[in-house]
Chain A
Amino acid sequence: MDIQELIDNFEFLDTWEEKYSYIIELGSHLEPLDEEYRTEEWKVRGCQSQVWLEPKLENGKLLFKGDSDAFIVKGLIAIVLMIYSNKSAQEIKEIEVEEIFAKLGLQEHLSPSRRNGLFSMVEKIKHYADTLA
């Protein structure tokens, strides 16, 4: 699924209950993290739940996998990866992630004070785009 499809799907969700159920479902389909990355080293800091991010560079594109021990966070990670994974460093820099999250009605989850890891995760993805590519 690409992000436009996701935005379209979200339009049909009227209540936060439906949204959260859908987010949890997205999380359950997340591609599993390679076990060797489920370590302190690959943890995203400053989160109330545990969040991991695994970066790979392939043919000039950055591929990410991620995971969390919290279900809603995991679903939100699925959305972040849908936005950022399989893109070039230049493409990553051009993405307006706040705008996309606002369209989804999830902007509050990107706030640095929420401490749910998404903000730190996005920062980390941008950092990888700067250093790996």
Chain B
Amino acid sequence: MYDVYKIRQDFPILSIPVNGKPNTFLDSAASAQKPAQVIEKMRRMYLEEYANVHRGSYYLSEQITVAYEEARSQIHEFLNTKSDKEVVFVRNATEGINLVAASWGRKFLQAGDEVLISQAEHHANLVPWQALRDEKGINLKIFKVSDRGEYLEEEFLNLLSEKTKLVAVTGMSNVLGTVFPIKRMAEQAHKVGALVLVDACQYTVHQKVDVQDLDCDFLVFSGHKTYGPSGIGVLYGKYNILDSMPPYQYGGDMVDTVSYEKTTFNEPPFRFEAGTPAIMQAIGLGEAAKYMMSLGMEDIFKHEQELTTYTTNALNEIKGLKIIGQAKDKGGVFSFNVEGMHPQDLAFILDKEGVAVRTGHHCAQPIVNRMGYESLARASLGLYSTKEDIDTLVAAIRKAQKFF
């Protein structure tokens, strides 16, 4: 039984008032709160077991190396990768995508090759490809979503061709909430010989992601959105693909043998982890994945789906409010516009009521513009969100409407 009120007790920050009001935190899509389990784990490691990894042959170094590699195993389980070796620790999703663009992209893409992305990409999955386009002369193709923010298969298939070498697509849009049918898209992409990269920043947060079932070639996500610390993220890659890729950065830890003349490089994932990694953050992320799995990915998904329906209905009751992104298959992200009110004005008043929402273009300016706006307010759900949060949000929006 998924008892959200009990689960909330794992998140001490949620019970600390904001502006004298109960904390109604509806900005988990930007960054999620952390459970005490994650914080405690990191605290304990710092206090009792800290040293550098993969270095010394002394007790503490061994302990921390084991913990760091255990975190990799937890991510292996979290994503159901074939092995630990397919899990590369990076700083965040943005770095994961940049790594693929710089390493795989520079080596394997040539002028005239195409990278295909959706209209709904975060800047992190758009700008690196624009830069590679300008550097290598590849073409960047962008398939459309509908006015309601839905995935349109015919648009995708129209642009998918033998020239497509990579489909880079979000698993779930951080603006529209739309969930893309990754498994089916990967099948179609593979038929024309393209690889598939999934930006799973919002995707891994809300549901079980099984990379073997999806059959994607790369997948990235960020720790801080997945109830873990900031400064850590994951790049998953199929091992044979990772093994074909040159290093992204150079230095310690990523090498095999080094002389003044020549260096041979370590195998994946270490080849891509140059320098001392974010040790504690990786361990914290492993703990966060463990925490989510212990709650049950299916149960988290069910809870959030129920709440998504509840939120949709509640917001639709508000006169003048339009939800931007009304795909049938959608997760707990609600961008919206309220007639006659600038999102910034709305956010000021919600803040006074203790309600945290994000406003602006959400680092996905093109899709916000494509939907017809300069700026939107966005409320997003986490595994700890409740109906009461939504009721407070709705009451606060109604209150804001009285001001204008």
Contact = CB atoms under 8 A, between A and B. Distances in A.
Contact of B403 (A24, A49, A69): A24
B350 to A, nearest CB: 12
B349 A71 contact: no
Interface stretch (B53-61, B157-165, B338-346): B338-346
B1 to A, nearest CB: 40
B359 to A, nearest CB: 5
Contact of A48 (B349, B375, B403): B375
A70 B344 CA distance: 7
Nearest to B353: A16
Nearest to B400: A20
A86 to B, nearest CB: 28
Interface string B326-354: 00000000000000011111011100100
B374 interface: yes
A29 B243 CA distance: 65
Q: Which range contains the number of B residues in contact with the other chain?
A: 10 to 19
A69 B404 contact: no
A49 B342 contact: yes
A111 interface: no
A20 B404 contact: no
Given A49-B375, A71-B404, A72-B344, A20 B349 contact: yes
Given A20-B403, A21-B403, A24-B403, A69 B352 contact: no
B344 A73 contact: yes
B360 interface: yes
B342 A70 contact: yes
A49 B361 CA distance: 10
Contacts of A70: 342-345
Residue from B342, B349, B403, B404 whose CB has the most chain A CB atoms within 10 Å: B342
A69 B342 CA distance: 7
Contacts of B404: 24, 71
A49 B403 CA distance: 18
Contacts of A48: 343-344, 347, 359-360, 375
Interface of A: 16, 20-21, 24, 48-50, 69-73, 115-116
7 contacts: A16-B352, A20-B349, A20-B352, A24-B404, A73-B344, A115-B360, A116-B348
Interface of B: 341-345, 347-349, 352, 359-360, 374-375, 403-404
Given A49-B344, A70-B343, A70-B344, 19 more contacts: A20-B348, A20-B349, A20-B352, A20-B403, A24-B403, A48-B344, A48-B347, A48-B359, A49-B342, A69-B342, A71-B341, A71-B342, A71-B345, A71-B403, A71-B404, A72-B345, A72-B349, A73-B344, A115-B360
